[in-house]
Each structure stands twice: as structure tokens, then as C-alpha cells.
């Protein structure tokens, strides 16, 4: 919105689209790899397997890329609108969402799920990993549905509903 | 047994993986380049300079976390560590990760995680700290 020069505008739009596409590709690739992992499918056949093994795999993958890219564009646009109205609204929204999420993860003892060392350092690393994964899963279709990976029982909250 | 057969079959038909990983790596590097171009534009005018700083901090944070991850991954063998860190600093980490996954690189003894997990972790860091804040910042 602040970009006035036409050349700068083109570069900004190109950056937006490439960022969205890169995120779409990355999250769809990770989700596909998780779902088609033979070990995961062997252990939990009723949970993994939404991507069919036949020719439809490419179609599903393409839709996942588009879905992630569009979701990122939509979320970023809504965040930008919030910031334009009042920065405090944006901070309240992000802080509230992330704060409640981290609080329930701490209370449930899920912070050490990702295999980090025990103690205060491991706790901080766990919080950092949780923040990164929540940001990514909220704005893309990255599929981390299993147990304590992202939401668990919290799957009805904002991020869970979007996915 | 069934898992081993399935894994072998998937390895044989890895063209899909090669394509996905290669395009993903190219897009990641292009994303970094366009983000840097936008930062450069933002610094050009006083009213957008604060957004330039914001974006620069996020891109810097992404590179910093990738450096930390690479250090932890390779700290037990110092020989190749400098090269790995340099790859991150010049923005070629996505290409390096893709090359390893496509080439079927085996996990070395000193590594913390395998090549595919390393690629996933790097992508997550990039998405959370570079792509997502970059989108919001450019929209704003």
C-alpha cells in the first residue's frame, strides 16, 4: 500500500507471489512426504493415506500447493488489514492466539515433544519450535495432525479449524 | 518386510520427489532474492524504511536459525562445518538440501537428523521467519 513507484510495485507483487508459491510448495511437499511415508502408513493405516497411490497423487499435490499458497495470501492480507486499522489489534490477535496456545502446551507438558534436551534450555528450544510450527501450520496446509505435533486436543481452535 | 519393499519401490520411482524438491529449492532461493530486492526498495524511501528493517530482521533471523541448526547438525565433525555454514550464508541451503535428498544421501554418524528431516526443518524456519512475515510486510 505504501509502494508508489510502478517498478517497485511490480517487484513487490512478484515477491508476494513467489513467497506464496514457495510456501505452498514446501508445505505440500512436507505433507505429502509425511502421508506417503511407508512406515507411518504401516503403523497407522487408518490415520495416514489421504493421498491415493495412483495417478491422482499429482492432482492432490497440486491442489495442496494452491490451497497453501492461497491460504498464506489470505492470512497475510487479513493481518495487513488489521495492522492498517490499528497495530494494537494485530498484536492482541497474534499475542492472544499464540499465548493461549503456548500456555496450554506448557500446562499439558507437550513442550518437550520434539526431542529437545531436558531443562531450561530444552524448554526454550521447545517454545521456539512450537512457535515456528504454529506459524507455519496456521498459514499453510502443512499437515501435522498426529497426537501432540501441533494441536492435539486443541484442534478446534483457530489454527485447527483452518486446516 | 512389507515396509522394506514399499521403501524400495518408492526409491525407484523417485522422479516425483526429485521434481518437487528441485522446484521447491529454486522457489526458496528466488524468494530470498525477491525479499532482498524488496528490502532494498524499502530502504530507498524514508516512509518505508521501518518495513525494510522489519523484513531485514526476519530474513536475518531465518538465516541465523538455519546457521544454528547446521551447527547443531554438524558440530561433532568440525571439518565440513565451515562449508556448511557458508552455504547458509550465501543463501544456497535449499539447493544443498535438495541435492542431498535427491541424491539419496545417507545420514552420517555425526549427524543429528537425516537429510529429509534437515530439509523439512530448514523449510519450516524459512516459511515461519521469511515467507510469512515477508507477505504481511509487503501487503502492509
The set of cell numbers assigned to A113 is 515433544
Partner residue facing B6 (CB), from A25, A29, A38: A38
Within 10 angstroms of residue A126's Cβ, the number of other Cβ atoms is: 21
Average the pLDDT over A45-69 and give the result. 84
Q: Is the pTM of this model over 0.90?
A: no
Per-residue DSSP letter, A146: S
What are the start-end ranges of the H helices in chain A?
6-35, 38-43, 56-85, 87-107, 120-139, 158-162
Which residues of A, range 30-69, sit inside 8 Å of B by Cβ?
30, 32-33, 36, 38-39, 41-42, 57-58, 61
> Is the Cβ pair A136, B128 closer than 8 Å?
yes
* pLDDT tops 90 at residue A49: no
Closest CA to A49 of A61, A36, A33, A64: A36
What is the b/e burial string over B91-109, where b = at least 16 CB atoms within 10 angstroms of the residue's CB?
A: bbbbbbbbebbbeeeeeee
Q: What does the pLDDT look like over A65-111, one tens digit per residue?
A: 999 899 888 888 888 888 888 889 888 988 998 999 889 888 888 87
Cα–Cα distance list, A129 to A12, A74, A134, A163 (Å): 29, 24, 8, 19
* pLDDT tops 60 at residue B37: yes
Torsion A67-A69-A72-A76 (CA) sign: negative
* pLDDT tops 70 at residue A62: yes
Cβ partners under 8 Å of residue A43, min gap 6: none
Q: Which residue has the cell 496450554?
A: A104
Partner residue facing A76 (CB), from B127, B129, B139: B139
A-B interface: how many C-beta pairs under 8 angstroms? 127
The set of cell numbers assigned to B51 is 518495513
* pLDDT tops 70 at residue A5: no
Cβ pair A63, A140 in contact under 8 A = no
Would you kindly state where each structural domain of chain B is located, as residue ranges? 2-139
What pLDDT sits at residue A157? 46
Q: What does the pLDDT look like over B70-91, one tens digit per residue?
A: 998 888 887 788 888 999 998 8
Amino acid at each position: 500500500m505504501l509502494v508508489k513507484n510502478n517498478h517497485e510495485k511490480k517487484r513487490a507483487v512478484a515477491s508476494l507471489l513467489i513467497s506464496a508459491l514457495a510456501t505452498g510448495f514446501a508445505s505440500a511437499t512436507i505433507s505429502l512426504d509425511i502421508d506417503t511415508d511407508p512406515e507411518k502408513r504401516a503403523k497407522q493405516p487408518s490415520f495416514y493415506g489421504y493421498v491415493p497411490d495412483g495417478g491422482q497423487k499429482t492432482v492432490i499435490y497440486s491442489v495442496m500447493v494452491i490451497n497453501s499458497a492461497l491460504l498464506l495470501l489470505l492470512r497475510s492480507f487479513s493481518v495487513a488489514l488489521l495492522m492498517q486499522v490499528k497495530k494494537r489489534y494485530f498484536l492482541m490477535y497474534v499475542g492472544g492466539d499464540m499465548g493461549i496456545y503456548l500456555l496450554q502446551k506448557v500446562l499439558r507438558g507437550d513442550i518437550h515433544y520434539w526431542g529437545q534436551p531436558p531443562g531450561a534450555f530444552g524448554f526454550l528450544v521447545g517454545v521456539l519450535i512450537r512457535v515456528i510450527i504454529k506459524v507455519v501450520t496456521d498459514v499453510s496446509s502443512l499437515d501435522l495432525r498426529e497426537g501432540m505435533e501441533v494441536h492435539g486436543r486443541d484442534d478446534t481452535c483457530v489454527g485447527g479449524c483452518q486446516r | 518386510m512389507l515396509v522394506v519393499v514399499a521403501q524400495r519401490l518408492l526409491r525407484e520411482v523417485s522422479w516425483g520427489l526429485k521434481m518437487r524438491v528441485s522446484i521447491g529449492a529454486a522457489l526458496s532461493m528466488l524468494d530470498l532474492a525477491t525479499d532482498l530486492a524488496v528490502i532494498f526498495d524499502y530502504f530507498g524511501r524514508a516512509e518505508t524504511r521501518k518495513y525494510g528493517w522489519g523484513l531485514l530482521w526476519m530474513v536475518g533471523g531465518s538465516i541465523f536459525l538455519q546457521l544454528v541448526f547446521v551447527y547443531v547438525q554438524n558440530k561433532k565433525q568440525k571439518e565440513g562445518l565451515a562449508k556448511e555454514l557458508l552455504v547458509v550464508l550465501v543463501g544456497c541451503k535449499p539447493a544443498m538440501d535438495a541435492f542431498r535428498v535427491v541424491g539419496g544421501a545417507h545420514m552420517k554418524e555425526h549427524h543429528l537428523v537425516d537429510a529429509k528431516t534437515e530439509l523439512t526443518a530448514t523449510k519450516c524456519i524459512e516459511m515461519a521467519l521469511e515467507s510469512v512475515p515477508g507477505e504481511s510486510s509487503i501487503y502492509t
